Amino acid sequence: MKRRIVKGLAFGALGAITVMAAVQLHSAPAVAQGRGIAPGLVLPRMNPANGKKLFASKGCVVCHSINGVGGTDAPSLDASTMDPVMSPFDFFAKMWKGAEPMIAMQNNEIGHQIEFTGQDLADIIAFAHNKAVQKTFTEADIPDDIKEHMESDEESGGSHMMMDENGGMMKGGGMMSGSGQ
């Protein structure tokens, strides 16, 4: 009987620690502690609502779509197409794999390479994985200067560059609008 109580307390404590860690990750940056993590690393808080704003204002929406809104030059980033459980580092690794063509497209489409902070990436990744916040994404979220890039792209008849499934470049593409979910 004592052994069962001790085991129950141990599992209860482990569960409480897990919940506390999850709450900490969502409420404020946390210093990473534990096996396999170097001391002093900071895990950013991931804010999908801020990621929604950044996705539009940084210009990601020129090439990528979410909720049926955005460009078609690069893969859609709808949460429904994402792995159900994914490390943000794996998501970034996929971005890194396509970095060269993505930078070329940024230069071609908006005239410069987009600059991100680590926090920007954390928030955009959170947005790319949050169905509820994605459902609220509409054309109204896109700033006018970014819409101008998208409209000039449409007027050119899609003569811009786009990324193929293997990360290579090809001509074509355009803009989607509406609700895809």
Count CA atoms within 13 Å of residue 119 on its CB side. 10
pLDDT along the chain (181 residues), means of 10: 45 38 45 65 93 97 95 93 92 91 89 94 96 97 93 59 48 45 39
**Residue 41 burial (10 A CB sphere; 0-12, 13-18, 19+):** exposed
| Residue type (1 letter), 169 | M
First-to-final CA distance of the chain: 53
By C-alpha distance, which of 119, 124, 117, 115 is closest to 94?
124
Q: Quick one: pLDDT at residue 40?
A: 86
